[in-house]
Structures are given as C-alpha cells and as structure tokens.
Chains A and B, each alone.
Chain A
Amino acid sequence: QQQVRQSPQSLTVWEGETAILNCSYENSAFDYFPWYQQFPGEGPALLISILSVSDKKEDGRFTIFFNKREKKLSLHIADSQPGDSATYFCAASAPGGYKVVFGSGTRLLVSP
C-alpha cells in the first residue's frame, strides 16, 4: 500500500506564482519528512526537511507546512522560477529507523 501519497501528479504554474505541492501519510509513527528535488538525468537532491514537532519550516523560497493531526504536509515554492521545474518527492521515516518511504512525486513545470 502507498504509505506516502503526493498530489497533484503534475502541476504547472506561471513564473512568480506560488506552487503548492501536497503530501499525506498513513503511519502515525512517521516523524521526519524530507523533500527531494530531482532534475532529469540527475539523482534526487535533499531540498528541505521537517520534524513532526514543528508545523512550519522555511528555507528561502521553500516552506513546508505540517499538520500532524491530519497527517498532511505541503511544500510551498514562492516566486516560482523556471529553474524550479523538476520532480519533487515527499518522503517520511519513523524514529530510530533507517528506512525512508517515498511518495510517487509531483512533476512541477514553471512557465515563463
């Protein structure tokens, strides 16, 4: 079963807009949520992450919003740039664990 779900599968926004990528999970034990950015032909790169004790994490134009009660989180990309066009993966892991579960990804296209 899909423990981590992402939506939408693909998203197109105009340059300068805020892109919102959604993620939800089933396992209440998950407490660490990294997001990855992947460009074609490259490996996924760690972009930003959040622990479940926080409800928000910012890093420049990238912000994670986390709702533990609803088991949902979202990645907001402010002032989207064409260079942000990539596939974004949401992932989750549990305490003391070494296995990270990945969602199926959201393909973002930022149009100039």
Chain B
Amino acid sequence: DSGVVQSPRHIIKEKGGRSVLTCIPISGHSNVVWYQQTLGKELKFLIQHYEKVERDKGFLPSRFSVQQFDDYHSEMNMSALELEDSAMYFCASSLTNQAPLFGEGTRLSVL
C-alpha cells in the first residue's frame, strides 16, 4: 500500500502524559500537514511542513511540537496532555499544487 501511513492507530494516555504520533507520507511527497478532528466535525489545521521547513502554523498547542525529517516523515511530540486533546489526528501529504491525501489517522484518548 502506497498511501500515507500513520502510527499508532489508537493510543490511550493519562492526563499530563506524553505521546508521539508518526506520519510516513506518500513517497516523494514533501508537503506534510497535520489536522485535528473532534467527533467527526471540522478539520482543524495544526501545522504544515514543506521540504523539512515549517511553512504555516495553525492551532498547534505550544505543548506540541512537530518535526519533518530528511526522508520527509513527520513526528508530532505531544506533552502535558489534556483531556481536550482527545481527538483524531490526521496527517496528509502532497506535492505542490496537488490535493493532500490523508492517512487513516491516530485516535488519541486522554483519560
């Protein structure tokens, strides 16, 4: 399968804990974007990297950081988790001027 791969698919953490979400984009896609979605509602834009450089930041909490590596995969480091961080986190990748293609998402549950 050559789609966007996210891991883990589901993770449960305690309030105040830490977590790392990983995104492997489609081969050759250097544009990687993260979104948060709660209860199947709107896609909240978190952050975008292009060619390993942060291009735009949206609603990414300061407790979270995102990095894109040489092979274009991306990791979201989440710390001091709060109950309201419980959501689906989607990663999408694309080439310039193309529609982003989404992964299956990671479901984060903070208890």
Contact = CB atoms under 8 A, between A and B. Distances in A.
Nearest to A47: B99
A91 to B, nearest CB: 7
Interface residues of B, number: 24
A84 B96 CA distance: 30
B50 A100 contact: no
Given A40-B40, A98-B48, A102-B42, A46 B96 contact: no
B102 A45 contact: yes
Interface residues of A, number: 26
Interface in A25-54: 32, 34, 36, 38, 40, 42-46, 49
A39 B28 CA distance: 27
Point out which of A32, A43, A49, A107 has the most chain B C-beta atoms below 10 A from its C-beta.
A43
A46 B43 CA distance: 14
Contacts of B55: 98-99
B88 to A, nearest CB: 8
A99 B56 CA distance: 8
A46 B99 contact: yes
Contacts of A49: 99
Looking at A45, A93, A98, the one whose CB has the most chain B CB atoms below 10 A away is A98
Contacts of A95: 97
Interface string B30-62: 010100000011110100101000011000000
A91 B19 CA distance: 30
Interface in B92-111: 92, 94, 96-97, 99-105
28 contacts: A32-B97, A32-B99, A34-B99, A38-B40, A40-B40, A42-B104, A42-B105, A43-B4, A43-B90, A43-B102, A46-B99, A46-B101, A49-B99, A91-B99, A95-B97, A96-B96, A97-B96, A98-B48, A98-B50, A98-B94, A98-B96, A99-B48, A99-B55, A99-B56, A102-B45, A103-B42, A104-B41, A105-B41
